[in-house]
Amino acid sequence: MAFKRRFTPRRKFCRFCADKDLPLNYKRPDILRDFITERGKIIARRITGTCAFHQRALTREIKRSRQMALLVFTSTHASEVKKKSTL
Ligand SMILES: [Zn+2]
């Protein structure tokens, strides 16, 4: 396969598996932020290289973090999300 590396990280393995000390927790938005786009979208596993297990945990923590409003959201977006979360 002829992949051009655009924004693909060099290391293509799970960072959480590689570094056991790396906390995967909603209380650490500084780390979660590496796995979301500027707009707050979760970056696909094939791009970050995160394994299935950790990606699932990551998704959960990111969603939790959003609810806790620890992650920076677009301010207009944030109020919409709050309304939608009750659905
Ligand atoms: Zn992993």
Please check whether residue 8 lies inside any domain of the structure: no
- Residues 42 and 35: beta-carbon distance below 8 Å: yes
Q: Residue 20: which CATH number?
A: 4.10.640.10
Centroid of ligand 1 to alpha carbon of 35 (angstroms): 13
Q: Is 42 helix (H, G, I), strand (E, B) or coil?
A: strand
What is the pTM for the complete model shown? 0.66
Q: Is 36 helix (H, G, I), strand (E, B) or coil?
A: strand
Please check whether residue 7 lies inside any domain of the structure: no
Token pair, residue 35, equals: 């796995």
Task: Please give all residues whose CB falls under 5 A of ion ligand 1, grouped by chain where several chains appear.
Answer: 14, 16-17, 51, 54
Block means of pLDDT (10 residues each) for the chain, 87 residues, are 54 88 93 90 94 96 83 54 58
Residue with tokens 């932020």: 33
Domain span at 47: 15-84
Please check whether residue 49 lies inside any domain of the structure: yes
Instruction: Quote the CA–CA distance of 16 and 83 in Å, as a whole number.
Output: 33
Centroid of ligand 1 to alpha carbon of 40 (angstroms): 21
Please check whether residue 57 lies inside any domain of the structure: yes
Please give the backbone phi and psi of residue 86, each rounded to the nearest 5 degrees, phi first: -80, -15
